Structure 1
């Protein structure tokens, strides 16, 4: 993303005489710039070296439109994180949306990779493995190798971890940022809830709802069509 961002900045500066400062803070320049730089990044999925396997979701427009909840939005730093610049923050949210959420809405020419696998996912797998081995230095090396391509260079600083538990926390948060709107979110929620005995909570209209580690809602169901054509019995564990 940094390569595409800098190319777009150079083009805007040379062609429109926009300064990078104006691009970052000016409207409507920022909105126009955001659309152009997003198009540069998302319109060549099969040539993109980051995509080890490029695959659409349910339709070619997936995952648009979708809402990003506030707890996930709060993980991004809008000024410096290009995942925010490229994907979020410029589309008006729905009036009925959860407070603090942002709508992701991509144009028809954008090609998200919700069902494939990206090189960054492999790096984050390696980071998690090192964190589990209490090797926080190598865990952070792989996390930071991803972040160097996602954070605007002039704002970038390495993440550091105090211990293995802190390294795992950083890896988990980076997975939420990097693997937005892929199946990884569900499976990460399930495996971490189970492993760390975490209960998730959400407050809606003053009422708190909980999702416990043993909840059947964390079970990935067999499709009805699969059960109709086999002896499979629906998952309950």
Structure 2
């Protein structure tokens, strides 16, 4: 965020200018661009099939024109998230920052644990660059391929479904969040089960306040496919 702020010469309180700088690749199928500009696909900051050919540390100070959640100053945002386009998918590459050791390793462990409980989570894999620096490669759940073209899946978080402002993300009751998201799901009973499992898992992991902007509904592609990470 600090690199982006310096690039557009504005402050953190100028949210609209910051949004225009990164809005062409917002999560889901939403794009925000200056009036009159075309909607185009923003090139990923990293493009390549072989992480061992990259240098992750060189990405830290690059301007990233992609809107990714987690800009607030807290542990979950102390990782650098960089979109990566590879021949086998669209991903977010997460890198730890100084002062927060083993942050991505901790996230990888939690993803593995959630998957073992049959909680739907993004496909993720620990990788390393040519210098041995670790990164967590997470497949984007809001991108899918159809006919050789990458498209965007629309999704909404619970605050959008409930019609409440993001500023009230911690005030929504868990039961209200589950009921709201289940009401717009194709399989409400399955959605209720999965959502309560996620809340329970978060509680067991000492995340006692799950914000409603962190829980979403996503529209599955009707004719697209999602490709996974290589097994090697």
Greater CA radius of gyration, 1 or 2?
1
| Both proteins in one fold, TM over 0.5 | no
Structure 1 length normalisation: TM-score?
Answer: 0.29
